[in-house]
Structure 1
């Protein structure tokens, strides 16, 4: 089964049935690949940069409207990636059929507008660490979608899903008690479902052959969709760019250059150079990085539901990823 490409970030792309997509790979790497220093460096980039994107989003929405900022981020990143693909591989790499373009647009709207856009909106009300842990549930939804589509995952995988659902219940409890905004928690959960549907669909639809080109089209389409939603919501009214803080501008630039380009490039390179089981570990390292950065940089409180629920969810993702990679 052809796998989905991560439209980076966001739910900053955890690998699907092994992550934020179905293992986001254009093909399984050959066995016996050496784990070199370059591999560890690239893996560290994916761990830290994608784990830090939740913090970046939280800083951006301090003084920027959610959907307009998300749209600007992904349209910019998508155009930069398009230029990079044309420069490195030639314009022919960007050629797609109408069916492939339509599929990329649909997947981009699901991943970027639905998945990432709702997370950006939710982070105006919920801590970045909590958002990251809730998003770690994406592999569980993908497994359920596969099951509904006729696949029969191993019992160990289904056990991981049940364990993860228990963790989600704990993570959702602060919203039920009023400790955080319930609507924000529900938005993140809705985002995980949309991201999972987009990831699952991309493995079934006629997508562009080149993963970089596919991601570029997805980013531009999803970014334009986010800009349109922002305009419909009236986010442009009263928007004063001079009132946007320097740290929000810096965070937005960081998300474009590092979250959407550097880390994504490192990830695709890893898929070709490193054992897939090693690459997949970012699915449960990213949430830990996000929680740590939220606490250290933004002073987000480490409550017992966050810690306990987070441990359960990360453990569940580990079970799912490890089981799926043996299939």
Structure 2
């Protein structure tokens, strides 16, 4: 039976990983791409983490994915990590880390739309209200000069949020590798694709990158990918979805705090108001989903 108690040590450690580590990856990306081209950096981050996990699982006796499962892992990995994370990495060349994190907090809102269109899950009135409030917050956030002056960055961040939600919805309908092998295959496929895309786009590393950039990339691979992404998969199987996805409330706060502390990124009143509106909308959606899940039990 699936465990529902939210206060065991493994659950608390997993929540710490998705709250704090995932929130810190926005700063890690900014430091890493200050010396390494964005797609090559993101690709290296994911294919190295995926390959290490794959080899470890193979050593532990896990079955390798079938050819069809590899194809599905390529699709989902390309959506969630290739576009979902790759677009964020590219956008952070121009967009502050805190702004990027607030935009990505809209993933639960896009998830409602994807579930409605792809899975036939009819959204309730409160969920539609949450969507309306959330997208109002997006419009307010995009009126911030730092984001309105970078339309490509804003578009990439919205595309990243949508593709992460789309990949999450599709992954429930297709044949994926089982357990942690699914995570490993997705990371490996997405990492290879991003590295190839970077090379085709003309990205090259002509000199040894700065130590800061290499350490940040290693942090993203080990902590952001291997540890935090695995922790998220564990939470999805162990606790209620509303708790597993509650990182959406915390990541922007962590990212804004770290961006202000280490990169001296300004926090404007408009940004605070937009973040409050967006996170309130996400809370509305999560509460509606939690109430519906209780009614269906």
TM over 0.5: yes
The 8 Å contact of residues 29 and 271 in structure 1, kept in 2 or not, is answered as no
Partner of residue 74 from structure 1, selected from 34, 40, 46:
46
Could you tell me how far 1:179 is from its partner in structure 2? 6.1
Q: Deviations over 1:196-230 (max 9, x none)?
A: 221211111111122x1111111111111111111
Distance 1:141 1:266 in 2: 22
Rate the CA distance shift 1:34–1:259 in 2: closer, same or farther, 3 A: closer
Residue 252 (structure 1) aligns with = 217
1:100-179 equivalences under 5 Å are: 100-149=69-118, 150-174=120-144
Match of 1:23 in 2: none
Conserved 8 A contact 1:60-1:249: yes
Q: Distance in 1 between matches of 2:45 and 2:133?
A: 35
Whether the 8 Å CA contact 1:35–1:274 is kept in 2: the answer is no
Alignment of structure 1 residues 1-327 onto 2, 5 Å: 29-31=2-4, 33=5, 35-88=7-60, 90=61, 93-149=62-118, 150-174=120-144, 180-210=149-179, 212-236=180-204, 239-242=205-208, 244-326=209-291, 327=293
Conserved 8 A contact 1:157-1:319: yes
Shift of 1:272: 4.8
Where 1:94 maps in the other structure, the secondary structure is coil
Q: CA RMSD in A?
A: 1.9
Deviations 1:15-44 (A, max 9, x none): xxxxxxxxxxxxx8344x261344333322
Are the equivalent residues in 2 in contact too, given 1:67–1:230 (CA < 8 A)? yes
Gaps of at least 5 residues in structure 2 are none
Q: Residue 178 and residue 100 in structure 1: after superposition, are their counterparts in 2 closer, same or farther (change >3 A)? A: closer
State how far apart, in whole Å, the 1-side matches of 2:106 and 2:266 are: 21
Q: CA deviation at 1:322?
A: 2.3
The structure in which a higher percent of residues are helix is 2
The number of residue pairs the alignment matches comes to 291
Residue aligned with 1:241, SS: coil
Cα deviation, 1:250-290, whole Å, max 9, x if unaligned, reads 11010011111122333344445545443332121112111
